[in-house]
Amino acid sequence: MERNTKKVSDSMVEQVFQVRPEHLNGAGRLFGGQLMAWIDEVAGLVGIRHSNGDVITASVDNLKFMRGAYLKDLIVLVGRITYVGHTSMDVRVDTYIEDHRGIRRSINRAYLTLVAVDENDKPRPVPGLTLENESEQAEWLAGEKRRELRGQRRKEGF
């Protein structure tokens, strides 16, 4: 049977939070663990939308903190699917601070791998991905490379 496919835009998620006192660490900045929780949540929503069901986070492949955030900052997270395997999906989450003019400054970029699971938590197949432009094609190629590196890491134990 031919594999059903979806577009990147079908599952894209944009979520906005405001940094409140309970999100800060002792140094008065946004606590990194809080941001990671938001990133994981957004990635999970992208995975649920693409796969039409439950997902679990298998790994965080890469997570880069570029700048800090502070009380009252508006934090915008944009999640998009970049690559799919048979049951797994790679999701990129970009995080920005948005000022009152609507201008966004990038503060974090992360790549996560989600696995679609059935009611018994067993991996289940996901739809394929239709790539619509060059940047989606470039992300797909990078996803293939990351998958290759994960396999190598698993085999060689580094």
Ligand X SMILES: CC(C)(COP(=O)(O)OP(=O)(O)OC[C@H]1O[C@@H](n2cnc3c(N)ncnc32)[C@H](O)[C@@H]1OP(=O)(O)O)[C@@H](O)C(=O)NCCC(=O)NCCS
Which positions touch ligand X (CB under 6 A)?
56-59, 85-88, 113, 115, 123, 150
Least CB distance from residue 85 to ligand X, whole Å? 2
Least CB distance from residue 93 to ligand X, whole Å? 15
* Complex with ligand X: residue 19 or 81, whichever CB lies closer: 81
- Interatomic CA distance for residues 23 and 136, integer angstroms: 33
Least CB distance from residue 66 to ligand X, whole Å? 24
* Complex with ligand X: residue 44 or 80, whichever CB lies closer: 44
Q: Report the residue number whose CB is nearest to ligand X.
A: 85
Helix (H, G, I), strand (E, B) or coil at 66: coil
* Complex with ligand X: residue 97 or 129, whichever CB lies closer: 129
* Complex with ligand X: residue 35 or 115, whichever CB lies closer: 115
Cβ partners under 8 Å of residue 76, min gap 6: 14, 15, 16, 95, 96, 97, 98, 104
Least CB distance from residue 122 to ligand X, whole Å? 8
Helix or strand holding residue 142 (H, E): helix 134-156
